[in-house]
Amino acid sequence: MATPAIERLCECFPQARLTFVGSAVSIAALRHHPFCREAIVDDTKQGGSRLLNTYRLAKRLGRHDAAISFRSQIHASLLLRLTGTPRTVARKSLHASLLLDRAVALSRDTHLVEQYQTLANTLCGSESPAGPLRLFIEPRRYARPTLGINPGATYGSAKRWYPEKFAAVAAHFAERFDIVVFGGPGETDIADDIEADLRRRGIANVTNLAGKTTIETLCAAVGGLSLFVTNDSGPMHVAAAYGVPTVAVFGPTRHRETCQWKNPKSAVVRHDLDCAPCMKRECPLKHHECMRSIEAREVIDAAQKLIGD
């Protein structure tokens, strides 16, 4: 969701070169950017003092002309400060106000893409609306139209729709599409359940990629899909970057803040409950009604509207 802001910075400073610092997942996705000079995984939480590790990483990075943090976290602000970079920008917080050149107040009532764009506009010194998401990894070319199923969500179990319902959606479209099931290393059980369900129905054109992809191959595989059904997750935003027709199932999270950005063929399926969005990793009321009450038929109908006949 930060990629439109990154493109904004590239427009403002076309001679600049970018240093990306972040999680292994984000770095694997962003290091293919043509303006990328260096891409560094932030492993300051791994072993020893995080404060000392942050200092060492800052010295490795060195002084830049400008730096921007899309994270509202004290170690992120400290990292920018310790590099000695003169122009630094981040979301307004106590630590950002104390440590950085500019701390910008952002409204939670807007999409995260727009919030990140505001940070980039601050560094540019002028206003510009956020463009579409963008990744620079070549999408895979499938032999036949392909439906992707993504039942996982690393945030927590509250964001996950049910395997048997994902399987019912996949089964409905199995004559029109080959089926690919996605998932991270910790989501193989869910993906295996979906695959087993489909095979019990006599559906053989299914491939299970859970736990078998790198970030690059995941992006390529999602980018080449004809249709994608997913929870609110990272792969959902990858699909948006490639304009893949997508149905996203939302429960405990704020869909207005984190739904797909500027994907003309996207749909959100959710139920408007009093307890949602709770933003919890696990259902605090133990009934998980925000996801349990969503039926496969609703997702099938939403997908059908996107792809037509």
Whether residue 167 sits in one domain with residue 108: no
Whether residue 152 sits in one domain with residue 113: no
CA atoms within 13 A on the CB side of 120: 23
Q: Residue 130 domain-assigned?
A: no
Q: Please state the rounded mean pLDDT for residues 145-164.
A: 81
Query: From CA 25, how far away is CA 234, in angstroms rounded?
Result: 10
Cα distances from 93 to residues 33, 72, 73, 115, 124, in angstroms, run 29, 7, 9, 14, 21
Q: Residue 296 domain-assigned?
A: yes
Q: Residue 172 domain-assigned?
A: yes
**Domain-ending residue, one of 61, 94, 124:** 124
Q: Residue 131 domain-assigned?
A: no
pLDDT at 284: 73
Q: Among 254, 257, 262, 57, which residue's Cα sits nearest to residue 246? A: 262
Q: What is the dihedral of CA 14, 105, 130, 79, to 10 degrees?
A: 40
- pLDDT over threshold 70, residue 158: no
Backbone angles phi, psi at 102, to 5 degrees: -135, 130
Q: pLDDT confidence of 64, banded at 50, 70, 90?
A: very high
Q: Residue 37 domain-assigned?
A: yes
> Residue 106 maps to which CATH number?
3.40.50.2000
Whether residue 18 sits in one domain with residue 152: no
Whether residue 115 sits in one domain with residue 18: yes
Q: Please state the rounded mean pLDDT for residues 166-187.
A: 96
**Domain-ending residue, one of 90, 124, 158:** 124
Q: Residue 129 domain-assigned?
A: no
Whether residue 164 sits in one domain with residue 38: no
pLDDT at 156: 58
- pLDDT over threshold 90, residue 35: yes
SS3 call for 19 = strand
Q: Residue 103 domain-assigned?
A: yes
Q: Residue 240 domain-assigned?
A: yes
pTM for the full model?
Answer: 0.92
Helix 112-124 to helix 3-12 angle, to the nearest 10 degrees?
Answer: 20
Whether residue 283 sits in one domain with residue 163: yes
Cα distances from 228 to residues 37, 45, 174, in angstroms, run 33, 34, 13
The total number of structural domains in the chain stands at: 2
Domain span at 54? 3-124
Q: Please state the rounded mean pLDDT for residues 214-242.
A: 97
- pLDDT over threshold 70, residue 159: no
Whether residue 297 sits in one domain with residue 158: yes
* % of the chain surpassing 90 pLDDT: 83
- pLDDT over threshold 60, residue 155: no
pLDDT at 173: 97
Exposure class string for 119-155: b at 16+ Cβ within 10 A, else e: bbbbbbeeeeebbbbebebebeeeeeebbbbbbbbeb
Express each pLDDT in 193-221 by its tens digit: 999 999 999 999 999 999 999 999 999 99
Q: Please state the rounded mean pLDDT for residues 120-134.
A: 97
Express each pLDDT in 266-276 by its tens digit: 999 998 877 77
Q: Using an 8 Å Cβ cutoff, are 269 and 297 in contact? A: no
